[in-house]
Structure 1
Amino acid sequence: MASSDLAPDSTGSDYPSPVDYSGYTNSPGYVDSLSTYARDCTWEKCQLRMAYFYYRPSKGVNTAFAVLFGISALLFLVQGIASRKRWLGFTIAMVAGCALEVVGYAGRIRAWTDLYTDVVCLTIAPAFLAAGIYLCLSRIVTIFGRENSRISARAYPIIFMSCDFLSLVLQAAGGALAINETKDSTGPQLGTDLMVAGLAFQVFTMLTFIILALDFAIRTLGRIRQLGSANALDPRHAALRKSWAFKGFLTVLSLATLLIFTRCVFRVAELSHGWHGPLIQKQHYFIGLESAIVCVAVLLLNLFHPSICFGESGNPASRPRESRARTWYGRKVKGVSEQSSAEELKDHV
């Protein structure tokens, strides 16, 4: 971040020199953003401690991320259209998440001149990106064989997207309340607490998802060792599982999950200390642990888009005939006849 972005005072401090408040109705202790003082307050007049951040957000950096997320959103839209609705749910989730990122970074660009610009969109955007990831695991379970999973392929998006929605509501409500509390000069503590609760629940949801995904991988490997690949895995998707594109997608999806999870942990730590905590005061923490890692996650999913990596395994078709069978660990599951088509995958998005 350029030193000019910080607007230092004549002493070389990162904080502007105190201003004369005698012409304003509010005391310098706390600022009502709807008051005469707040309407006239600019970075040139006011102290950095009066703003949501303790720094002036860099125009260049935030513009770059706004452009990158905008490009990613367009790519997801084009890729979704090209896939002929096979990945409709994934497309909606990723486009919505990237669009919110663009709006959020536009807010940070505006915050270069406006101390009170709201950036709540950046808080809730990754919830949509996580929803896209949840949908992908549902497909992966079907590709390897449903009998390897503790829960059904359909259950993954239902359970985790429901939890995602709850965390989204908490974060959005907390952000709106924090803004209103600031305007009312009561302090944004309750709103901040709600945002932290929503983010913490999102961390819990993603951690549970990661544990179940690891459990699925371990169970799959266990069945392969016991029964061999031919008997342990769904034979209809053998060619797909061997493709480098699909293997690359599995790697990218795992990395994207860990990146978004890391971001959520950071935001919990950041906001748990309030709006003037040690993490929120430094722009490089935000750029490194929010902007960069989320951007890498979405661009990788553009590059290894599931419609490309899954190929024709995403096409819709007849439903499978079901039978009862018992897995190697004793749980009864629904089996799939070999004559059924791979088009059942459509059911999970």
Structure 2
Amino acid sequence: MVVGEYRLYHYAPSLVAAIAATACFGLITTCHLIHYFAQRTWFFTPFILGGIFETIGYLGRIINSQQTPNWTTAPYIMQELLLLIAPSSFTASIYMILGRIIRVTKGDSRSLIPARSVTRIFVIVDVVAFLAQAGGGGILAQATTTSRQHLGNGIIIGGLLVQIIFFALFILVSVIFHLRMRRDPTRRGRKTHVKWHRFLIVLYITNVLILTRCVFRVIEFAQGTNGTLQSHEIWLYIFDGLLMFLVMIILLIYHPSRLLTTAKVRDTSQIRRRRKRRTHPSPRRREY
């Protein structure tokens, strides 16, 4: 369908690809939901929402793929907006994970930004980028002229650039914290049973995947509808769908609940042992 001067798709959306993506994201999101409720990792709520957004977004593409070339705007808007903003939900939870790692290791002195401020600063910026992308996506999805299309593209690119800049700063903060902890670990960092080293590496990998996706999106919207990226559906699935699916898989395998729950269990057991010693002191040997 062509709305005014603006064509919704510049290719025929693939039904098979959309079904596969919907099934994959639906399955992985369900697995995350099981962990979410079982481990009560409420801070992971934005991540869960991101998975739901991805699933519903590709569902919109299923609907549109069966309407070619007379696409309706509602499914198009649904997929355009939700696939655009879903990664922002992922990053919000990733920011919180670093804050929790700093708390677990009591590593505020090793971080450029204290744990509480890490979460606040980066999540607030993430929300701003989220709203900018949502606003630009809304304008773009309902564009009826080329000028409105350019306006939507510009707002989206601005939101993505803000996200990229602060995401790069977040990676820098993570790396500096990691290096300082390796060089001079805190007492809690040495004794804790939480494998925070491994989990920081997991954060690096997921960060790079999301950052790559954001760069792809900037190039895509900068090229416009006549560019290669928006004219061929395959790039969306490779540099957006696949990368975000990998992020969800990695954080399912190395789910933060396992690491942080381990810390709570160990700390609780240590407290119980101390109380037991105080309540039932070991008998003193009699001297003859």
Which category of TM-score, normalised to the shorter sequence, fits these structures?
Answer: 0.7 to 0.9
Q: Cα 1:221–1:239, aligned 2, differ >3 Å: closer, same or farther?
A: closer
Q: Are the aligned partners of 2:54 and 2:83 in contact in 1 as well (CA < 8 Å)?
A: yes
TM-score (norm 1): 0.68
1:111: how far off? 2.3
> Structure 2 counterpart of 1:104, which letter?
G
Q: Cα 1:306–1:237, aligned 2, differ >3 Å: closer, same or farther?
A: farther
> Structure 1 counterpart of 2:4, which letter?
D
Is 2:202 the partner of 1:259?
A: no
Q: Secondary structure at the match of 1:272?
A: helix
Q: Residues of 2 paired with 1:169 and 1:147: CA distance?
A: 33
**Match among 277, 298, 311 for residue 248 of structure 2:** 298
Q: Residues of 1 paired with 2:236 and 2:142: CA distance?
A: 24
Q: Are the aligned partners of 2:192 and 2:263 in contact in 1 as well (CA < 8 Å)?
A: no
Q: Deviations over 1:51-95 (max 9, x none)?
A: 333221211112111111112222222211111x3x2111x1111
User: 2:86 — aligned with what?
Assistant: 125
Is 2:34 the partner of 1:78?
A: yes
For 1:281-320, list aligned pairs within 5 A. 281-314=231-264
User: 1:218 — aligned with what?
Assistant: 179
User: 1:105 — aligned with what?
Assistant: 58
Q: Residues of 2 paired with 1:62 and 1:180: CA distance?
A: 22
In structure 1, list runs of 5 or more residues that go unmatched. Answer: 1-27, 34-49, 224-231, 319-338, 340-349
> Structure 2 counterpart of 1:97, which letter?
G
> Structure 2 counterpart of 1:312, which letter?
T
Q: Are the aligned partners of 1:174 and 1:195 in contact in 2 as well (CA < 8 Å)?
A: yes
Q: Residues of 2 paired with 1:31 and 1:77: CA distance?
A: 38
User: 1:280 — aligned with what?
Assistant: 230
Is 2:116 the partner of 1:160?
A: no
Moved more, 184-193 or 148-157: 184-193
Q: Residues of 1 paired with 2:92 and 2:148: CA distance?
A: 32
Q: Are the aligned partners of 1:259 and 1:293 in contact in 2 as well (CA < 8 Å)?
A: yes
> Structure 2 counterpart of 1:310, which letter?
L
> Structure 1 counterpart of 2:46, which letter?
A
Is 2:160 the partner of 1:199?
A: yes
Q: Are the aligned partners of 1:100 and 1:121 in contact in 2 as well (CA < 8 Å)?
A: yes
Is 2:138 the partner of 1:176?
A: yes
1:166: how far off? 0.4
Q: Residues of 1 paired with 2:259 and 2:131: CA distance?
A: 33
User: 1:228 — aligned with what?
Assistant: none
Q: Residues of 1 paired with 2:228 and 2:257: CA distance?
A: 42
Q: Residues of 2 paired with 1:267 and 1:186: CA distance?
A: 20
Q: Are the aligned partners of 1:138 and 1:154 in contact in 2 as well (CA < 8 Å)?
A: yes
1:263: how far off? 0.4
Q: Are the aligned partners of 1:73 and 1:94 in contact in 2 as well (CA < 8 Å)?
A: no
Q: Secondary structure at the match of 1:156?
A: helix
Is 2:82 the partner of 1:136?
A: no
Q: Cα 1:247–1:208, aligned 2, differ >3 Å: closer, same or farther?
A: closer
Greater share of helix residues, 1 or 2?
2
Q: Deviations over 1:15-71 (max 9, x none)?
A: xxxxxxxxxxxxx9x7439xxxxxxxxxxxxxxxx6333221211112111111112
Give the CA RMSD over aligned residues.
2.6
Q: Are the aligned partners of 1:53 and 1:276 in contact in 2 as well (CA < 8 Å)?
A: no
Is 2:56 the partner of 1:89?
A: no
1:247: how far off? 4.8
In structure 2, list runs of 5 or more residues that go unmatched. Answer: 269-273, 275-288
1:199: how far off? 1.1
Identity level (%): 27
Is 2:1 the partner of 1:32?
A: no
Moved more, 160-169 or 274-283: 274-283
Figure out how many residues of one structure are paired with residues of the other and give that number.
Answer: 260
Q: Are the aligned partners of 1:177 and 1:190 in contact in 2 as well (CA < 8 Å)?
A: yes
1:290: how far off? 0.6
> Structure 2 counterpart of 1:165, which letter?
V
Q: Are the aligned partners of 1:307 and 1:314 in contact in 2 as well (CA < 8 Å)?
A: no
Q: Are the aligned partners of 2:139 and 2:148 in contact in 1 as well (CA < 8 Å)?
A: no
Q: Residues of 1 paired with 2:146 and 2:239: CA distance?
A: 30
Q: Residues of 1 paired with 2:167 and 2:261: CA distance?
A: 27
> Structure 2 counterpart of 1:79, which letter?
H
Q: Deviations over 1:287-311 (max 9, x none)?
A: 1111111101111111211111333
